[in-house]
Chains A and B, each alone.
Chain A
């Protein structure tokens, strides 16, 4: 597997306060990687650095082997990095269809707009029922699907998802996660940021644990789930298996197993 994205020795922050200290992450082509950590660990800052919304103080961001430090955020979309931002941030006054069309604003995606659009409606049938509805009037789960679909409209090589499960009901989380797994199957590399550790590790191939601005642990999803650090810091002792305890059913585990096959 070849390296698609690499953040090496990133230091970044806001004003006087340092958030990321010597952070290094790689995502290989075709991988589904999760970045987990508690509130304030620097997860969102990481996504802001790699999409170009925040300039790091030190360190390098490489994409497909070359440095992209000097490339502005809006041009990175055209390189093939696409973000579905935290808290969804769809354009509330635009319709679902208009939101999706805006997703293909970058020249790279524009020529394939119509075919991508119908693919998105196949991938998210719920959205196709609401094409002309104002995005702001939809439920949180639907808005999250729209945010993911809008990011995919740019035909990304790397899709970055910032807390896709934030504020959603467990049932809806399953839908969103199935969509993520589906997307990964189509060959898009995905980096997603989560607080929801059980859910994240159930679908990811690999994971990084972020604490206080640097990576404290890295490994395959299975390794992380078994690791003591993760269990102690994130997983309170539970009677049921972690996925079941959180989600109340086995669908995500099944989805995870499908990916592993």
Chain B
């Protein structure tokens, strides 16, 4: 079986498992799956933008905007769980569109810095508007609107499966070529008739919506939000560690990376958590080792393993040199 079809089957099984786990009534496992799902969503979102040559250092901005929109809609307007998620998603898409318009043709490191500044800007705005956001004290979600932990988990699972489906659909459409061409060289892409701004708007709206959805559902799980939690650099870092670990520019990469990063993080925390700092040390060292020895991520490593195993066998060399009549 080829690697891609193998991964497709694995993907279906994984999607089924992710959708089924919240129903099993195992709170510990369900919590880990929930966090893996949100990580996978934001990783897919980051990878989508990276695939069009837009390296973001501001995904915590989208995440936080989604979280604040959902929380404020619920608290101030009394909007229920599912509609508030939708509001979060829309706000993320709008921020994505705004960012695309503001950054214009910025590329590479300049674009990355602009996104970083955006996320920091949002954090400061959230602190400066205590009447609206609760300021540095933070905001608790109204518990009357809480739909129950299990339902939140189920929606998160559905969201992760949908995000994976969206990234797969994009990779099957002809837009996929436009994004890859823009990643290679935006001017050359324009010279074959691709309007870079149109595709930037599309991909950043889509990516922003996904990341904000993850932030919004996360706030419903936690129930509390303050600017430093919402716009945390850690979110931005995890959003890119997962795809890079799993295999950047691939569909399976961010999902494999989210599984691996979460497994590694939880594993070291459970087994080595007693000794202060060791779990983080191991996490970091493993990441460095992965970047050194799996430069194309887990997906690239699997590909290489498959290529070496699937190489046709011609028999031994002695036969080739001296063919028997």
Q: Which residues of A contact B (CB under 8 A)?
A: 51, 53, 72-75, 77-78, 82-83, 85, 89-94, 98, 101-103, 105-106, 109, 150-151, 153-154
Interface pair B181/A102, CB less than 8 Å apart: yes
List the interface of chain B (C-beta within 8 A of A).
177-178, 180-181, 183-185, 187-196
The answer to whether residues A74 and B193 also contact, given A94-B180, A101-B177, A102-B181 and a CB cut-off of 8 A, is: yes
Residues of B within 8 A of A103 (CB): 192
Tell me the smallest distance from the CB of B101 to a CB of chain A, in Å. 16
Complex Cα–Cα for A73 and B193 (A): 7
CA distance A103 to B181 in the complex (A): 11
Contact call A93/B192, Cβ cutoff below 8 A: no
- Asked if A105 contacts B180 (CB within 8 A), the reply is no
Q: How many A-B residue pairs have CB under 8 A?
A: 65
Q: In the bound complex, how far is the Cα of B189 from the Cα of A85, in angstroms?
A: 11
Contact B192 A106 (CB under 8 A): yes
Q: Judge whether B180 and A93 touch: CB under 8 Å.
A: yes
Q: In this complex, which of B183, B185, B190, B191 has the most chain A Cβ atoms within 10 angstroms of its Cβ?
A: B191
Q: A91-B185, A93-B184, A94-B180 are in contact. Are A85 and B192 (CB under 8 A)?
A: no
Query: Contact partner of A94 among B181, B191, B195, B196, CB < 8 A?
Result: B181
Pairwise interchain contact B191-A82, C-beta atoms closer than 8 A: yes
- Across the interface, B184 reaches (CB within 8 A) one of A75, A82, A94, namely A94
**In chain A, what residue has the closest Cβ to B191?**
A83
C-alpha gap A168/B151 in the complex (Å): 64
Question: Do residues A91 and B187 form an inter-chain contact, with CB atoms below 8 A?
Answer: no
Contact of B177 among A53, A92, A98, A153 (CB under 8 A): A98
Contacts of B192 in A (CB 8 A): 77, 102-103, 105-106, 150-151, 153-154
Determine the distance from Cα of A89 to Cα of B191 in the docked complex, in whole angstroms.
10
Instruction: Given A93-B180, A105-B178, decide whether A85 and B195 contact each other with a Cβ distance below 8 A.
Output: no
Most chain A CB neighbours (cut-off 10 Å) among B180, B192, B196: B192
